[in-house]
Structure 1
Amino acid sequence: MLKMVDVFSDSPRSYATLSYTDITMVKATQGTWYVNPKCDVDYQAAKKAKKQRGIYHYCEGGNPESEAQYFYQNVKGYIGEAVPAVDWEAGSNRSWGNTTWVKRFVTEFHRLSGVWCLIYVQASAISQVANCAKDCGLWVASYPSMDWKSWKLPNMKVNTSPWPTYTVWQFTGDNMDRNIVNTTVEGWKKLAKGSGKSVTVKPKKKSEWKKKNGVFVLGQSLKLHKTPHIDSPAIAELPKGSAIKYDATLQGPKRLWLRQPRSGGKYGYIVGRDKYNKALGKFE
């Protein structure tokens, strides 16, 4: 097993290069507003001292995708050589108790980086992040007491379920955050590299009008709109049985729109099929 210390801006700078540790985990960001001003100082010192490295984000519980993107934008220069982690705690976290937040965060970070984050959480709150067990390693916090100021590993049982075991166990959190890492140096490097492939999300194709002439007989009273949007102003409300001629169709994300030519080169727009793909009249 390896010894790891995690550090933040108020930690003594010497913690990043302790002679008896193997890994330095550095706080990088918080929410979507804070970057640790000592992050790169500690990171580069640890790298020069030939430590393995990690970087972590402290969750504030805002939009998880936005926080993941903020974390990625500020640590992308470390991706591939440092293991990323997400710190899920109750303090300053307005989404504490939400069981989908971390899953969304790690999924977005993986999409951007090709790397899955470790998940830091106290043992009693593992259920909040249990849906990440298939993809992410567990960094669990469980202390024998707040007076354990030693690197001697306490003899105690640590809850990790549904993970079969922990990747990292933080067993002190008073004068220093001491951690034991359940892997080798090569194993840590493998966690840092991940797949090495980000996932490109293809943009959705823009909906386009298709030229098509026809007649639509209304099966119910419907509004004729000024634009192809359900909330746009109505030109008129047409009664059931009205027949309109259309010259083009537009399949939007929810509705099929029909375009009616009007005088002066203008158009009216009416819904032909609703969001359930149900025809609201008869096409002739």
Structure 2
Amino acid sequence: MVDVYSGSPRSYATLSGVDVIMVKATQGTNYINPFCDQDYQAAKKAGKLLGVYHYIGGGNPEKEAQYFYKNIKGYLGEAVPAVDWESYQNSSWGDSNYVRKFVDAFYKLSGVWPLIYVQASSLNQVANCSKDCGLWIASYPSMNWKSWSIPNMKLNTSPWSTYTIWQFTGDNMDRNVANTTKEGWKKLAKGSNKKPVAKSKNKAAWKKKQGTFILGQALKLHESPHIDSPAIAKLPKGSIIQYDATLQGPLRLWLRQPRSNGKYGYIVAKDKYGKLLGKLK
């Protein structure tokens, strides 16, 4: 596994021989990695297993958890979330209750316990999370270890029985080994005891509204209003869709196109980030 951030070469996201890519998503409550989705999508296209992480800034732990969730909720179920607890740029370093508050808040929102990244010498600061969260431990034989050969060294993970991820280099590249299978990683992404995510009291419903949508990019026309549903066609940029109803789902704005025999086609007008993908008239 390699973890990548804005300062990493973009090629790290598709590195040959690496099975897992962990992408930095957010930090504190006011930073989003501008290359997060670019690296994430490149890694996904390359067939990598996926993860996203938040770097603690040390502000209010509940607000940081909310900020992380808000910006990565579209990846949940596919990517393993993680929280990065380090001393650099962290005003709450040394607070042994901070990460506990963060992971509790994140779990309430997502139903998934995040992994916890921490240096081996500071395990005591996150020990109260060991029963719920997997461990991503950083421990190097030396800062000159620049090899994928796993070092032969004693690794203390207590109170965890073992690690989920071990980062064993941190100089020219953050090299890691994951202590799980492909199936195990996917299980971590989905959560083993998932709670329902809080939903709006107002259930999403179709609203009758006629209009025209001009595609600003190539988009798929789907058989049903689900992003993974089969495509009827892939429409090129500039195509014009006449729609008769709209649906604002939890992530995307859908338009309904009447077709022959009383059937419909469905297209995304706004993506999960709220970006309009064309012109509505």
TM-score by length of 1: 0.69
- 1:19 deviates by 1.2
Secondary structure in 1 matching 2:118: strand
1:68-107 superposed matches below 5 A:
68-107=65-104
Instruction: Verify: 1:9 aligned to 2:6, yes or no.
Output: yes
Letter in 2 for 1:160: T
Q: Specify the alignment match of 1:157 in structure 2.
A: 154
Which structure has the bigger radius of gyration? 1
Deviation at 1:200, TM superposition (A): 4.3
Match for residue 120 of structure 2 among 109, 123, 143: 123
RMSD of aligned residue pairs (Cα, Å): 1.3
Say whether the 8 Å CA contact 1:80–1:196 is kept in structure 2: no
Please list every run of at least 4 consecutive aligned residues from structure 1 whose deviation after the TM superposition is greater than 6 angstroms: none
Q: Give 1:199 deviation, angstroms.
A: 5.3
| Structure 2 residue aligned with 1:168 | 165
Aligned residue for 1:53?
Answer: 50
1:191 counterpart residue number? 188
Q: Shift in Å at residue 198 of structure 1?
A: 3.6
- Following TM superposition, by how much is the alpha carbon of 1:96 offset from its aligned partner in structure 2, in angstroms? 0.4
Q: Distance in 2 between matches of 1:43 and 1:167?
A: 21
After superposition, the C-alpha distances for 1:66-95 in whole angstroms (9 at most, x for unaligned) are: 000000000000000000000000001110
Which residue is 1:212 aligned to?
none
- Measured against aligned partners, the alpha-carbon deviations of 1:163-212 in whole angstroms (never above 9, x if no partner) come to 000000000000000000000000000000003434549xxxxxxxxxxx
- Unaligned 5+ residue runs, structure 1? 202-284
CA distance in 1, matches of 2:38, 2:195: 28
SS in 2 for 1:85: strand
Which amino acid in 2 is paired with 1:6? D
SS at match of 1:97: coil
Identical positions, percent: 73
- Cα deviation code 1:5-37 (max 9, x no counterpart): 000001001100111000000000000000000
Other structure's SS at 1:119 match = strand
Give the count of matched residue pairs: 199
Q: How many angstroms apart in 1 are the aligned matches of 2:63 and 2:194?
A: 21
State the partner residue of 1:215: none
CA distance in 2, matches of 1:7, 1:200: 31
Pair 96,142 (structure 1): closer, same or farther in 2 beyond 3 Å: same
Gaps spanning 5+ residues in structure 2: where? 200-281
Q: What is the alpha-carbon distance in structure 2 between the residues aligned to residue 78 and residue 170 of structure 1? A: 23
Q: Aligned partners of 2:175 and 2:79: how far apart in 1?
A: 18
Confirm or deny that 1:25 pairs with 2:22. Answer: yes
Partners of 2:151 and 2:175 lie apart in 1 by 12
Q: Please give the alpha-carbon distance, in whole angstroms, between the structure 1 residues aligned to 2:33 and 2:156.
A: 31
Q: What is the SS of the residue equivalent to 2:80?
A: strand
Are 1:146 and 1:172, in contact at CA under 8 Å, matched by a contact in 2? yes
**Which residue is equivalent to 2:38?**
41
The structural deviation recorded for 1:159 is 1.3
Indicate conservation of the 8 Å contact 1:25/1:54, yes or no. yes
In the other structure, the counterpart of 1:110 is 107
